[in-house]
Amino acid sequence: MLLPTVVIRSCPNGFSASVKFIAVFALFWSVAFSVAAADGKAIFSANCIACHGSKGEGNAQLGAPNIGGMEASYLARQLANFSSGIRGSAANDNYGAQMRAVVAVLKTDADRTAVANYVAGMPRAVSKNVIKADLANGSTQFNAVCSSCHGSHAQGNQQMGAPSLLGTDPQYVERQILAFRTGLRGVKPEDKTGALMRVGANMLPDVKSAHDVAAYITTIKP
Ligand code: HEC
Ligand code: HEC
């Protein structure tokens, strides 16, 4: 800030003032710009890697799903839902409670958008977790119940807010279906997309089918 002032001291006043203004403006602009650009990555590195991994690949042991490459709008909505308690605030939601504690570091929509965009920009992290199940029943249930919202290849439906399920950890998928069925997730009045998924989860005839359909989804090719 000192340097431009010294250099332009001998110039006529108007010129000096405008140069100073430009110098100060440029400085602010570059600071603001570099902070905004760095945010998502910096937030992720400092707060998320421990559980979700450096590539967003997830950690089945910790129950942290693979999130790399998911839709930015879906990720941002989930982060906002954890922040507001729409998701993760039920008394016995131990996994959700972990995320509720973490998202306290995301103070604004801008923080959530930045980290969501950063995670969405990662290559899709495909879960290597394999579970044994009745794949024939899984296929039947998927085509009867899930494909209408998540797409015939589980590719998702942006308009409906239904995320792609391709590559998602099957244990996590099963746990989420049960969370929607038991009302751990998707019951708050503001949770419109959660309410849709509750309908889907409750259309499955039994708990075994949640396991089977989760396993079947891992066999779907994009
Ligand atoms: C202490 C471990 C832990 C940390 C740290 C953590 N997460 Fe999570 N995260 C979890 C767990 C466990 C879940 C699953 C919650 C559930 O089952 O509902 C989860 C779920 C999520 C989801 C929902 C995924 C989906 O498919 O709906 C998103 C998005 C997410 N985390 C993003 C983040 C971001 C961004 C950070 C860093 C700011 C972060 N997490 C830090 C453990 C963690
Ligand atoms: C009526 C439409 C609809 C049907 C049917 C439906 N879903 Fe969903 N599903 C959604 C929407 C919308 C969401 C996003 C919920 C949110 O925003 O929290 C969702 C979310 C999910 C999630 C959470 C993803 C994550 O990363 O946490 C899983 C898992 C899931 N659905 C699996 C299924 C399976 C398996 C079926 C079939 C048994 C199914 N869904 C049927 C609309 C539907």
Atom of ligand 1 nearest to the CA of 79: 29
- 211 located within any domain: yes
* Mean pLDDT in consecutive groups of 10 residues from the start of the chain, 222 residues: 40 48 47 54 97 97 97 98 97 96 95 97 94 97 98 97 97 98 97 98 98 98 87
Residue nearest to atom 42 of ligand 2 (CA): 197
What's 143's domain CATH number? 1.10.760.10
Ligand 1, atom 10, lies closest to the CA of: 64
Instruction: Give how many domains the chain has, as a whole number.
Output: 2
In a domain, 70, yes or no: no
| Residue 169 domain-assigned (yes or no) | yes
pLDDT value of residue 222: 85
> CB of 79 closer than 6 A to ligand 1?
yes
Residue 98 lies in a domain: no
Least distant ligand from the CA of 77: 2
50 within some domain: no
Is there a domain that residue 220 lies in? yes
What is the per-residue pLDDT for 162?
Answer: 98
Domain that holds residue 7: 2-38
SS3 of the chain: the string is: CHHHHHHCCCCCHHHHHHHHHHHHHHHHHHHHHHHHHHHHHHHHHHHCHHHHCCCCCCEHHHCECCCCCCCHHHHHHHHHHHHHCCCCCCCCCHHHHHHHHHHHHCCCHHHHHHHHHHHHCCCCCCCCCCCCCCHHHHHHHHHHHHHHHHCCCCCCECCCCECCCCCCCHHHHHHHHHHHHHCCCCCCCCCHHHHHHHHHHHHCCCHHHHHHHHHHHCCCCC
Any domain includes 185: yes
Q: What is the pLDDT of residue 131?
A: 94
- Specify if 176 maps to a domain: yes
Closest-lying ligand to the alpha carbon of 49? 1
Q: What is the pTM of this model?
A: 0.88
Counting ligand 1 atoms within 8 A of each CB, the residue from 93, 99, 107, 171 with the most, and so the one to mutate, is 99
Residue nearest to atom 19 of ligand 1 (CA): 64
